[in-house]
Structure 1
Amino acid sequence: MEYLQAEKRLSGVIESMRFPLIYLVVIAHMVSFDTPTVTLSWNSEDIYTLISEMISHNLARLSVRCYFLISGYYLFKKLVEWNSSVYVGQLKKKIRTLLIPYVLWNLILVGVIFAKHYIFLKFGLSVINSEAEYATIRDNSWYQLLWGMPINFPLWYMRDLICMTLVAPLFYYGFKYLKHYGLILSVVFYLGVHNTGVTGFSSTAILFFGAGAYFAMYKQNLLLIMAPFKNISMVLALVLLLISTLMNGKTYHEYIVRAFILVGVVGVINLFDYLNNNERLRTTLAKLAPTSFFIYVAHEVYIINWLKGAWTRLPIYDFGWGKLIGYFMVPCLCVLVCIGLYYLIKVISPKLLALLTGGRMSRFTYKERI
């Protein structure tokens, strides 16, 4: 009975997590891929760098890891007793929920880049930025655009999740025979900052999807496992977050941030378990949850970049405080635009929205989580 109640509560916690985690994905893309060093001072530029790096290059990395964990957990809840017909059924569902949206949103971005470049040329507008984007399309193969990069780069998570789903039998038999030792090996491999070098099989995906698979296989509810570490996980996560931020740009940053991620994932789940006691907050986040996937796949189709570009043209951007204000405002505006588009498409063509989101819509009965 305790397990069943915990599973019901876990479902609510995960529903509450979806929207805030997607906001973290969006704000992560407010800065470049570079990781500058952090300087502690009262200078507004240094404060901006400290906060933006702490969130975008450290804290925000928890979001995708949580999604991998959840995805592995829910897939293997259906595969606790191995059954090839159940597995094939899951693969068929993933074509609709993962593969089709993945291909469509990469193709959409390719089409938008082509259209922008053509329009800029036709009307004699500056093509400096559009030329660089167009060159990316022109100079790369379709394999690179749709898989190796991918062109809509946040979708690397979906690409890796597709791969994890395809090799689900290996996780099943691996954990069946190695048991918890298989999980320990994955943790050691991850903390050692190793990688497979094979596209779609990142150590991040292997560890966190695999951890979700392991806990589901052995009927270990995530909340029941993590609850005893509620306080220590949050305190340790904050300490490691600060250390990893201060290590930004230095040799051992990746080692520290990966340790933070392991503890931070536990802290995030415990945090939302606590926040779910607030009924109003829980209801609000549950209402926003269906928009999460659309925000994730759509925000990099120029939406966030145009908003960032507009903010940089304001006089306030020349100051550190202006950059800091924009750092939080632009993602909020981006999310609002995406939500507006979500509901606009839902009104105009619910079937199109269902196709673009893999059926992740509140009005549809199918609620497969990413």
Structure 2
Amino acid sequence: MSSSVTLPTHGTKPLSTSTAALAAKRDPSIDIARLCAAFLIVLFHAGESYSMAGGPDIGGNPPWLIVGNLSLWGRVPFFFFLAGCFAARSLAKPGASAGGFVSSRIKGLGIPYLFWNGVSLAMLWVALRAGASFSSEPVLTTGAALGKLTGIFFMPANGPLWFIRDLILASLLAPLLRKLGPWLLVPSISLIILPEIPLEWMERGCPRPSSFGYFGIGMLLSYLPKGIFGKLFPNLGLGLLLCLSLGVVHSIWHLTPSRFGGVSVGAMGILLTGCYIHRSFPRIAEFMARHSSASFIVFAANVPFFAVARFLYPRVEGKIGYLPYFFGLAVLFFVLALVAHHLIRGYFPRLLVLISGGR
């Protein structure tokens, strides 16, 4: 993933002490890319809210589809690739144990996952008590509430956090997956290219097979030799332009890239964006890298934020259009999330365990 880190040549071979020290260093370009991917998720959900509120299509397409196509649907797989790669590195460190890795992942992902689902459940309960109407009336029995809180047999209360649930499950399997070594490529590709499970299965809490495929490919990225990324893209600007051009072509002509090929290019574009910002705009890069840990808050809190935004829009309808309202709020939310994370980290650091896994 980064040219600054020496990676192992085999998944079961321990890293040397010096290499482990290098692997422990954070790569600012990856941190910046994480924040870029989180912002793309916010834009996608802003587009969804725009359409749900009744906003007209743009050029014959809903905005959420345009955002998805431009990024070649690589924004969420990017996090799976990244998590899988870091999982493999963590498990390869001298003295690392499967139990310790799983415990840290459950704490870092599970606690904020339950917290933000709890926030969404509380908002849903308040909305129902206030007489709000929904296209399909949600059921909030004790069993349903518990299912929505955990994402077991139900879609998580904070729907887009299905990918955190899948990431937790993939992390639990990571120690076993690592033992497959390079053979992990076979099941990973198979899980990615198979048709997605039906929507009703997802609504019943079934994890997406592709989630584990992307995670597995991410683990295999730890095989890449040192410097290969820089050799593949000596000109970051041209590489980024190529990825963006493919996204524009896909958005205009509605081409259907293979699931693995398409999202891989999209995820690569996100990573190249992080590298390009890091190299070309040092002050902006420093700010984004310093606040990259706010990415969990960004993609978890934007769902309840836009739920409130949709509820409030009828009060300002006629004074402001759909597009400036929802996408203006997307930028405002992103800034507020960074500010909130900065203040919480500075004055209430213990709360970070709840809202972002301690980061």
If the length of structure 2 is used for normalisation, what is the TM-score?
0.76
What displacement does 1:258 show? 5.2
1: CA distance, partners of 2:137 / 2:72 = 29
2: CA distance, partners of 1:225 / 1:144 = 46
Per the alignment, residue 212 of structure 2 pairs with: 206
What displacement does 1:211 show? 1.7
Per the alignment, residue 132 of structure 2 pairs with: 128
Aligned residue among 95, 100, 107 for 1:89:
100
Higher alpha-carbon deviation: 305-314 or 282-291: 305-314
Matching of residue 151 in structure 1 with residue 157 in structure 2: yes
Per the alignment, residue 48 of structure 2 pairs with: 32
Per the alignment, residue 39 of structure 1 pairs with: none
Per the alignment, residue 271 of structure 1 pairs with: 273
Matching of residue 170 in structure 1 with residue 169 in structure 2: no
Per the alignment, residue 65 of structure 2 pairs with: 53
Per the alignment, residue 19 of structure 2 pairs with: none
What residue identity is the alignment partner of 1:271? T
Per the alignment, residue 40 of structure 1 pairs with: none
Per the alignment, residue 301 of structure 2 pairs with: 298
1: CA distance, partners of 2:50 / 2:265 = 24
Per the alignment, residue 353 of structure 1 pairs with: 352
Higher alpha-carbon deviation: 217-226 or 101-110: 217-226
What displacement does 1:358 show? 1.1
The aligned runs of 1:1-370 (5 Å cut-off) are 4=5, 11-32=27-48, 46-47=58-59, 49=61, 52-56=64-68, 59=71, 61-80=73-92, 86-118=97-129, 120=130, 127-129=131-133, 135-138=138-141, 140=144, 142-147=146-151, 148-176=154-182, 178=183, 182-183=184-185, 186-187=188-189, 189-194=191-196, 201-217=207-223, 223-224=229-230, 226-227=232-233, 234=240, 236-246=242-252, 253=256, 255=257, 259-277=261-279, 278-301=281-304, 303-311=305-313, 313-315=316-318, 322-343=321-342, 345-346=344-345, 349-360=348-359
Task: Tell me how large the CA RMSD over aligned residues is.
Answer: 3.8
Deviations 1:304-333 (CA, angstroms, capped at 9, x unpaired):
22224444533155xxxx333334312012
1: CA distance, partners of 2:356 / 2:303 = 15
What displacement does 1:207 show? 2.6
Aligned partners of 1:114 and 1:134 also within 8 Å: no
Change (3 A) 1:168 1:306: same
2: CA distance, partners of 1:308 / 1:329 = 13
Counterpart secondary structure, 1:31: helix
Aligned partners of 1:10 and 1:222 also within 8 Å: no
What displacement does 1:110 show? 1.1
Counterpart secondary structure, 1:30: helix
1: CA distance, partners of 2:50 / 2:195 = 18
What displacement does 1:79 show? 2.0
Counterpart secondary structure, 2:156: coil
Aligned partners of 2:293 and 2:356 also within 8 Å: no
What residue identity is the alignment partner of 1:223? F
Unpaired runs of 5+ residues, structure 2, are 8-21
Number of residue pairs matched? 330
Aligned partners of 1:191 and 1:259 also within 8 Å: no
Counterpart secondary structure, 1:29: helix
Per the alignment, residue 367 of structure 1 pairs with: none
1: CA distance, partners of 2:273 / 2:348 = 37
2: CA distance, partners of 1:261 / 1:224 = 20
What residue identity is the alignment partner of 1:355? L
2: CA distance, partners of 1:218 / 1:257 = 22
2: CA distance, partners of 1:209 / 1:189 = 10
What residue identity is the alignment partner of 1:105? W
Give the % identical residues.
Answer: 19
2: CA distance, partners of 1:323 / 1:48 = 16
Aligned partners of 1:97 and 1:359 also within 8 Å: yes
2: CA distance, partners of 1:347 / 1:82 = 33
Change (3 A) 1:282 1:337: closer
